[in-house]
């Protein structure tokens, strides 16, 4: 028996279209399932928690939506033993990208039915969990501005979720100021006189495919950190095209770290978003929560 959580509004209405395709294939295959539409993060979490407690027969939970929808369900899925199956229908879809889940509905459904459950880590921030990335500073402000913009809806309608993030970069440059930053990684303190952003990643990308931490693996028990610091606005702009393929890691104003426990302190209060959703503001502490989630992945993915 399979359980589906469907966010019809994700990706500017793409979630409903994806679910209709999945439903037709399930009926054709004669596969038993139950589904529910989510209208809010709280409602989705409450429903999933209840259904998981009522039955131990779920083979997987399919989430039809974007990274934010998946994020809202992490507390219920964490340590449940029931694998998450991802059906990308959002604007960023970095969870799907990190676990190599294709956008084609038939291929994603095959992974749910015939793939392998891979153990995955989570990023723990106080009592919150994040799966893909924790963005602190400029990148968090970009995501916040994109999420509250009109251009995101337009880009989603055109199937150009990444373009919305690029527009957001220019939008955010108008108001954001870099400042002093202190990052402690596994007891070692790193100080920066003028930092733009700190990305703490459990998977390679965020922001709709920006490979900010190209060496990150969601099952290695470690967090990868990228800090961009001591550079001009022009250099920051020139940085972003290199993030598409991970070339930024060789630049002198980019510092890469890896560890299990991270703390971020800033003289200026910095916004922090996890999986594109509001988490906290600095100062903050994050740690890896190893092996607490299962995700259905293609055979041969690991």
Residue 182 contacts residue 189 (beta carbons within 8 Å) = yes
Q: Are residues 157 and 260 in the same domain?
A: yes
Instruction: Write the CA distances from 248 to 133, 165, 297, integer angstroms.
Output: 17, 17, 28
What average pLDDT is seen over the chain? 92
Q: Which residues contact 146 (CB under 8 A, 6 or more apart)?
A: 152, 164, 165, 167, 168, 171
Residue with tokens 């500017």: 12
Q: Are residues 110 and 170 in the same domain?
A: no
What integer is the mean pLDDT of 160-183? 87
**Structural domain contains residue 128:** no
**Structural domain contains residue 190:** yes
Q: Are residues 118 and 12 in the same domain?
A: yes
Predicted local distance difference test score (pLDDT) of residue 302: 54
Q: Are residues 104 and 177 in the same domain?
A: no
Residue 84 contacts residue 116 (beta carbons within 8 Å) = no
Q: Give 75's pLDDT tier (boundaries 50, 70, 90).
A: very high
**Structural domain contains residue 127:** no
Length of the chain: 302
**Total Cβ atoms within 10 A of residue 33:** 15
Strands of the chain, DSSP E: 2-6, 33-37, 60-65, 84-88, 116-125, 128-130, 133-137, 179-185, 188-201, 223-229, 254-259, 261-266, 271-274, 277-281, 284-297
Question: For the purposes of burial, counting CB atoms within 10 Å of the CB of 184, is it exposed (0-12), middle (13-18) or buried (19 or more)?
Answer: middle
Q: Are residues 190 and 86 in the same domain?
A: no
Predicted local distance difference test score (pLDDT) of residue 123: 97
Predicted local distance difference test score (pLDDT) of residue 180: 96
CA 18, CA 21: separation in Å to the nearest integer? 5
Q: Are residues 63 and 173 in the same domain?
A: no
- Percent of residues, the chain, with pLDDT higher than 70: 98
Residue with tokens 């913009």: 149
Predicted local distance difference test score (pLDDT) of residue 98: 93
Q: Which of 4-18, 145-159, 245-259 has the lowest mean pLDDT?
A: 145-159
User: What Rg value do the Cα atoms of the chain yield, rounded?
Assistant: 19
**Structural domain contains residue 36:** yes
Structurally, the chain folds into a number of domains equal to 2
Q: Are residues 138 and 284 in the same domain?
A: yes
**Structural domain contains residue 302:** no
**Structural domain contains residue 284:** yes
What integer is the mean pLDDT of 58-82? 94
Q: Is the pLDDT of residue 175 over 70?
A: yes
Q: Are residues 177 and 113 in the same domain?
A: no
CATH code of 29's domain: 3.40.50.10330
Q: Is the pLDDT of residue 124 over 70?
A: yes
Pairing of strands 2-6, 60-65: parallel
Region for residue 143 given its phi and psi (left: phi exceeds 0; alpha: psi -120 to 50; beta: otherwise): alpha
Q: Are residues 30 and 83 in the same domain?
A: yes
Predicted confidence (pLDDT) per residue in 134-161, tens digit: 999 999 998 888 888 888 778 777 777 6
Three-state secondary structure call for residue 72: helix
Predicted local distance difference test score (pLDDT) of residue 92: 81
Q: Are residues 156 and 271 in the same domain?
A: yes
Question: For the purposes of burial, counting CB atoms within 10 Å of the CB of 6, is it exposed (0-12), middle (13-18) or buried (19 or more)?
Answer: buried
Could you tell me the residue range of the domain that residue 92 belongs to?
2-122+293-297
Predicted local distance difference test score (pLDDT) of residue 161: 66
Q: Is the pLDDT of residue 42 over 80?
A: yes
Which pTM does this prediction carry? 0.90
Q: Are residues 269 and 220 in the same domain?
A: yes
Helices 138-147 & 161-173 angle (0-180, nearest 10): 120
**Structural domain contains residue 242:** yes
Predicted local distance difference test score (pLDDT) of residue 301: 65
Q: Are residues 137 and 255 in the same domain?
A: yes
What integer is the mean pLDDT of 13-40? 91
Predicted confidence (pLDDT) per residue in 195-244, tens digit: 999 999 999 998 888 899 999 999 999 999 999 999 999 999 999 889 98
**Structural domain contains residue 54:** yes
């Amino acid at each position: 028996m399979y359980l589906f959580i469907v966010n019809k509004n994700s990706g500017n209405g793409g979630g409903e279209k994806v679910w209709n395709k999945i439903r037709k294939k399930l009926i054709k295959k004669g596969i038993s399932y139950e589904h529910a539409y989510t209208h809010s993060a709280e409602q989705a979490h409450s429903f999933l928690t209840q259904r998981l407690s009522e039955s131990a027969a779920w083979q997987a939970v399919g989430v039809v939506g974007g990274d934010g929808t998946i994020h809202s369900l992490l507390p219920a899925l964490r340590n449940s033993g029931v694998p998450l199956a991802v059906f990308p229908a959002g604007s960023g879809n970095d969870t799907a990208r990190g676990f190599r889940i294709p956008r084609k509905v038939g291929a994603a459904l095959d992974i749910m039915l015939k793939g392998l459950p891979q153990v995955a880590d989570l990023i723990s921030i106080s009592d919150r969990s994040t799966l893909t990335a924790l963005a602190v500073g400029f990148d968090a402000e970009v995501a916040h501005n994109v999420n509250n913009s009109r251009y995101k809806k337009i880009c989603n309608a055109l199937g150009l979720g990444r373009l919305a993030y690029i527009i957001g970069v220019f939008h955010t440059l108008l108001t954001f100021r870099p400042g002093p930053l202190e990052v402690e990684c596994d007891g070692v303190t790193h100080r920066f006189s003028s930092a733009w952003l700190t990305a703490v990643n459990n998977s390679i990308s965020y922001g709709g495919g920006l490979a900010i931490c190209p060496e990150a693996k969601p099952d290695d028990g470690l967090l990868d950190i990228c800090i961009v610091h001591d550079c001009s606005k022009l250099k920051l702009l020139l940085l972003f095209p290199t993030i598409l393929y991970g070339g930024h890691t060789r630049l002198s104003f980019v510092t890469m770290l890896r560890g299990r426990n991270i703390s971020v302190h800033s003289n200026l209060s910095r916004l922090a978003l996890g999986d594109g959703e509001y988490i906290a503001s600095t100062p903050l502490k994050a740690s890896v929560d190893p092996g607490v989630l299962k995700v259905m992945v293609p055979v041969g993915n690991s």
